[in-house]
Structure 1
Amino acid sequence: MSEKGCKLGIPRTPQTVSKHRNALGAAYGTAKSGTGIAAMSVMRPELIMKSIIPVVMAGIIAIYGLVVAVLIANNISERVSLYKSFLHLGAGLSVGLSGLAAGFAIGIVGDAGVRGTAQQPRLFVGMILILIFAEVLGLYGLIVALILSTK
Structure 2
Amino acid sequence: MLESLLNNHNLPYPDTIHPIIVHFVIAMVLFAFLCDVIAYFTNNYRLFEVSWWNMFFATISIFIAVVFGQFEAGLAQPYDAVQPVLNLHTILGWSLSGILAAITAWRYVIHCRNPKKVSVYYLAAGLVLTILVGVQVYFGDELVWVYGLHTVPVVEAVKEGLLR
TM-score, normalised with respect to structure 2: 0.40
TM-score, normalised with respect to structure 1: 0.43
Whose helix proportion is higher, 1 or 2? 1
